Structure 1
Amino acid sequence: MKLNKIYLGLIFSGAFIIFSSFIILKQKVKPTLFLIGDSTVKNGKGKGDGSLWGWGSFIESFFNSEKINVENDALGGTSSRTFQTNGLWGTVLVKIKKGDYVMMQFGHNDNSPLDDTARARGTIKGIGMESKNIYNPIKKKPETVYTYGYYMRKFVADIRAKGATPIICSPIPRNPVKDGNVALVDDSYSSWAQEIAKEEKVAFIPLNQLIKDKYSALSANEVQAYFTEKDHTHTNEAGAKINATLVIEGVKAMNSNKLKRYLK
C-alpha cells in the first residue's frame, strides 16, 4: 500500500511538472512586434534624449502585453540602406520567428548623399532596380548602392522567409509650418512606400497622410507645438504620442492583418 502511494505520488508529480512546463513553453511563444526605422521611430535610446521622441516609444502601451511583445529596434540616423549594411538588420532578423510582425518606416535619411564623408547613407531615388558602384569613404571600401525600393523589398523578403508578417509605414511628414502657415506637401518616399506595399501585397499604414490629415485641421501654432525647435523633422513627446495613436488607427484599419487582435 505504501509503495502504491509513493508510485501514485510520483505519477502526479510528473504530471504536474509536464503541465507546468507546457504552460511555460506556451507563454514563451507569444509573438513579437518588431519596429525598425530611423529617429522618428526611436530617437537615441527612446527615452526622450534632447526632448526628441519617436512614435515607437509609445506604441507598446496600446498592445496587450500578455499576448504580444513589442520591441523597438529603430536607430536614429539610419536609412533603408544603412540599417542593413551596418549590420543592424542582421541583429533583428535572427530574433524574428514564425508568427511575429515587423513594422518598418524609412525614408527620412534615404535622400542623403550616397558617398559623403559624414554618413554615406543615401539610396538611389525611386523603387526600380537601378544601382551605382561607389567608394564608401566611411567604410573605406567599394559598395554597390541600390534604390529605396530595393532595400524595402529586401526587408519584406527577409521577414517573409522567417514566417513573419511585414508592415510598411509611410514616413511621418516633416514640420509643415512655414511663415506662420501650415504648408502640407506631397512626399516622394511616402508614395514609394505605398507603391512597394501594393506591389509586394504587404499591409500598409498611410502614416504620412494620416498625420497630414490631423495637421490640416489645426492652426500653425498647434502644429508647431508637436515639433522640437531643434530642427524641422523631429517631434517632441506630444507629437510622438499623436503619431503613435495614428499608427494604431492604421493598424485597426488593416482588414486582412491579424496584428489588431493584440490591441487592448
Structure 2
Amino acid sequence: MKRTDKKPKVTVYLAGDSTVADCPPHEAPMAGWGQMLPLFFSDEAGVVNMAKGGASSNSFIDEGGLDDITERLAPGDYVLIQFGHNDQKPYGTDPYTTYQEHLVRYVEAVREKQATPVLITSAERRRFDQNGKPADTLGDFPKAMKALADSFDVPLIDLWSKTKALYESLGIEGSKRLFVHFQPHEHPHYPNGIEDNTHFSEAGARQVARLVTEGIRELGLPLSAYLLCERSDFRAGV
C-alpha cells in the first residue's frame, strides 16, 4: 500500500495473479502492474495489492484471498479483479461455467460491502502470429468476463484489448522491453538468462498500470478523481 501520513479517503484492493502481484526483490526487475498502480494515484487513495502468483479465480477464493479483502472493505472502496491466466491450466475452470460462477462470487461479496467491483480482462501474453500481429492466447476467458460484466452490470476494463494494441504499436522487437528478457549473465537475478513473455518488467508494469488507469477514466468512475495527471515518462516507448 502507498505509504502516507494521510488516511486515504478511498482504498483500491487488487485481486489477481502474478501479472498483477507485487514481485519479491530477488525477481526484480520483474513486476506486476499492481505493483506500479500506486504511482498513478494521489495520497488520498490507498492501493492494497492482494494478488497472488499462481492464483486462479477459484484458488484465490479457496485460499482466503477474497475473504481477506472483504473483511477490510469499507463502503465506497473498490476491488479490481483480474483472473484468467491460471484458469486456463488443466486443473482450472471453464470460461462460460465455473469461471463466470467464481466471478459472480467476487461481485456479490464486494457489493454486499457497499464497495464497487471492477472486472479486468487479463493482460495478453506477448505472442505474435505469422503476420506480425499479437496473437490471442487467452481463449474464451476475456469474452466470458465481458459477458458476465454485461449480465451483472459490472464496470469492466478491457485490458486484454488494450495490451494487444500496445504490443502491436511497439512491434515484435520493441515490445520485448515490456517483459523480462535477459541473456545469460546479463542480470544477477537471472544468471542463466530468461525470456518471459507473460510477466512484465518494471517498465512494462508501469505501462500496463497506465492502461488500467486509462480504463478507470473511460468508465467515468468516481475513483478517477483520485488519479494524478498522466506523466509523459510513463507512456509507451520510454
> TM-score if structure 2 supplies the norm length?
0.81
Q: Retained in 2: the 8 A contact 1:177–1:223?
A: no
Q: CA deviation at 1:190?
A: 1.2
Identify if the C-alpha distance between structure 1 residues 252 and 234 changes in structure 2 by more than 3 Å, giving closer, same or farther. Answer: same
SS in 2 for 1:76: coil
Q: Retained in 2: the 8 A contact 1:104–1:167?
A: yes
* Structure 2 equivalent of residue 127 of structure 1: 96
Give the counterpart letter for 1:74 in structure 2. Answer: A
2:219 equivalent to 1:254: yes
Q: CA deviation at 1:174?
A: 0.6
Which of 235, 240, 255 is residue 205 of structure 2 equivalent to?
240
2:123 equivalent to 1:162: no
Which of 74, 94, 107 is residue 97 of structure 1 equivalent to?
74
Query: Structure 1 unaligned runs (5+)?
Result: 1-26, 115-121, 129-146
> TM-score if structure 1 supplies the norm length?
0.74
Correspondence list, 1:1-264, <5 A = 28=7, 30-45=9-24, 47=25, 49-65=27-43, 67-114=44-91, 122-123=92-93, 125-128=94-97, 147-177=98-128, 181-185=132-136, 187=138, 188-229=140-181, 230=194, 231-255=196-220, 257-264=221-228
Give the counterpart letter for 2:224 in structure 1. Answer: K
Query: CA–CA distance in 2 between the matches of 1:225 and 1:94?
Result: 38
Identity in percent: 33
SS in 2 for 1:183: coil
Provide the alpha-carbon RMSD of the alignment: 1.9
Segment drifting more, 177-186 vs 208-217: 177-186
Identify if the C-alpha distance between structure 1 residues 185 and 52 changes in structure 2 by more than 3 Å, giving closer, same or farther. Answer: same
SS in 2 for 1:191: helix
Query: CA–CA distance in 2 between the matches of 1:77 and 1:98?
Result: 29
Query: CA–CA distance in 1 between the matches of 2:177 and 2:201?
Result: 8
SS in 1 for 2:136: coil
Query: CA–CA distance in 1 between the matches of 2:180 and 2:162?
Result: 20
Query: Structure 2 unaligned runs (5+)?
Result: 1-5, 182-193, 229-238
Task: State the structure with bigger RCO (CA 8 A, min sep 6), 1 or 2.
Answer: 2
Segment drifting more, 35-44 vs 74-83: 35-44
Identify if the C-alpha distance between structure 1 residues 85 and 69 changes in structure 2 by more than 3 Å, giving closer, same or farther. Answer: same
SS in 2 for 1:260: helix
Query: CA–CA distance in 1 between the matches of 2:51 and 2:145?
Result: 17
Query: CA–CA distance in 2 between the matches of 1:69 and 1:38?
Result: 20
Identify if the C-alpha distance between structure 1 residues 112 and 43 changes in structure 2 by more than 3 Å, giving closer, same or farther. Answer: farther
* Structure 1 equivalent of residue 234 of structure 2: none
Q: CA deviation at 1:126?
A: 2.1
Identify if the C-alpha distance between structure 1 residues 183 and 207 changes in structure 2 by more than 3 Å, giving closer, same or farther. Answer: closer
Which ranges of 4 or more aligned residues in structure 1 deviate by more than 4 Å?
Answer: none
Deviations 1:193-248 (A, max 9, x none): 11111111011101110111122222210012211233331111121111111111
